[in-house]
Amino acid sequence: MNGKPRILLVDDEKRFRETSKRLLSLRGFEVMDAENGNAGLEILSKNSIDLIILDLRMPVMGGEDFLAAMQPTHPDVPVIVITGHGTLDTAVECMKKGAYDFITKPFEMDLLLLTIARALEKRNLEEEKKRYQEENVRNLIELNTEKKRLETIISCMANGLMVTNMNMEIVLHNPAFLRLLERSGDLKTPVPVSEVIQDETLLETLKRIQSGEVPEKEFFSHEIQAGNRVLRAISAPTLGPDRNVFWAVAGTVTLLEDITAFKQLDQMKSDFLNLVAHELRSPLVSIRQLNSVLLEGLAGPLQGKQQDFVKRTMNKIDALLSLINDLLDVARLEGGRLVRQQAAVDLGKMIEDMLAFMESRAKEQRVTLIYSCQNLKPILADPRNIEEVLNNLLSNAINYSPDGGKVTVAAKGIDHLIEIKVSDEGVGIPPEEVPKIFEKFYRVKHPKTRHVTGTGLGLSLVKGIVEAYHGSIGVESAPGKGTTFTIILPAMKEEKERVDMTVALR
């Protein structure tokens, strides 16, 4: 109801209509009047009326006929019947037919105003109720539409979907879920997850998620075997309302993706890399040996230009051998074969040896090498892997410092961890390129470092080796201000823990 409430006064007494209209208007109502039922119906058909005050005894059309005529089209408009003492039974009958209340003549204006207020309040409540009902119907229709749409999407998904409740029971799944698990027939839900999924790691992950130990937005990825298929299972918590908190973990949702083809392609790629690398390496080693014979003069003395050409050939062969070794290391890393023989590694001694090895190259580029260590403990690793990490980081630090400066290696023990920082004062890395530097074959381009050759595999290998030993690597850099790589590795543990770690790495 907007603005002033509009009242229709239907009564054949002109004086009563004028007096009532004036009094009601003074109290904030907009009043329209009619001398009989026919005139009242015409006004009602053309105007929005909030309440009707109706006399029973009128010429042309009385109150009862008016009430019967208006009910089909305006059943929600409350009607207050005005009646004399002799027509009380008729007024009661009118109320049975839909009138809100009746007042007997003569009456006090306060009584009429009170009755009007109650009637309008009742109408407002009924309108509010009607709006809520209509809104509920719309919401139910929209909810049902969304449910049907979601069911269609889930059923048509190529990936498998599984939803569990807090009792570790499957309550929702799609056809792809059963197909990927190579199960025939239908699955009657709810059913315990353990009857459908036998992978212990995935089951433990679902239990952890339901226990509330993990953040709500975190998800977990596992590879599981289902017959001849390899599936990637991505699991996350589902949320529901709770009386104590607004949302709480109500179960889990798991998406199954068939990655069998990708695993096969990955294996084919690794096999191809191994084949090509080995087939290339053998003849290159032979060519290098022949060139070494020539350089050493064992096949006769070389003239100046001849010796220069042979040296250049040796450099190119060394670069190719380095590329082949990197490719082989990448293949081993992806196949989980890079970690070979583990032993206690003295990091301090290894860093000192590596710096001594790099000294001549650093002097050529006017780079000063600085080293510091604190509280270093041995680490359990394959020494060749750690040498490769240090070699790559130091080589990059020197190569990307064309204007000289300092390259600093700082190693220290922090509780059960070892932190190694390799810093330079070189050209630095633009912020937009920092996330890409650990990608295979990616190299940072800079006008001052065009002469630097490489495959773009070094940092990818460094990251893979560090993570293979349950470590982490981070980078901080700014253009023109240098770069710092920070490696965190676990220190060597007690004998029992060391055995467990060795098994995990293998």
**Across 332-346, average pLDDT:** 73
Residue 335 confidence (pLDDT) above 70: no
Distance in angstroms between the alpha carbons of the first and the last residue of the chain:
77
- Note the CATH number of domain 6-131: 3.40.50.2300
pLDDT at 504: 41
Query: What is the pLDDT, as a whole number, of residue 420?
Result: 93
- Banded pLDDT at 241 (limits 50, 70, 90): low
Q: How confident is the model at residue 452 (pLDDT cuts 50, 70, 90)?
A: low
24: tokens are 């009601």
Res 361: pLDDT: 85
Instruction: Identify the CATH number of the domain defined by range 157-258.
Output: 3.30.450.20
pLDDT at 506: 39
Q: Quote the crossing angle between the two packed helices 458-468 and 383-399, to the nearest 10°.
A: 140
Question: What average pLDDT does this structure show over 193-214?
Answer: 83
Q: How far is CA 44 from CA 29, 47, 59, 265, in A?
A: 16, 5, 18, 79
In a 3-state reduction of DSSP, which class is residue 14? helix
Q: Percent of the chain, pLDDT > 70?
A: 89
The Cα 91–Cα 301 span in angstroms is 135
Give 492's DSSP letter: P
Sequence ranges of the domains in the chain? 6-131, 157-258, 263-334, 343-505
Mean pLDDT of the chain: 83
Q: Is pLDDT larger for residue 505 or for residue 126?
A: 126
pLDDT of 218 above 50: yes
234: amino acid identity, one letter: I
Q: What distance separates the 2 farthest-apart alpha carbons in the chain?
A: 145
Q: What is the pLDDT of residue 247?
A: 64
Flag the least confident range among 167-171, 236-240, 372-376, 404-408.
236-240
Q: Give residue 219's pLDDT.
A: 78
CATH 3.30.565.10 for the 343-505 domain, yes or no: yes
**Per-residue pLDDT at 32 exceeds 90:** yes
- Average pLDDT for residues 234-238, to the nearest whole number? 85
Region 289-295: mean pLDDT is 84
CB atoms within 10 A of CB 424: 25
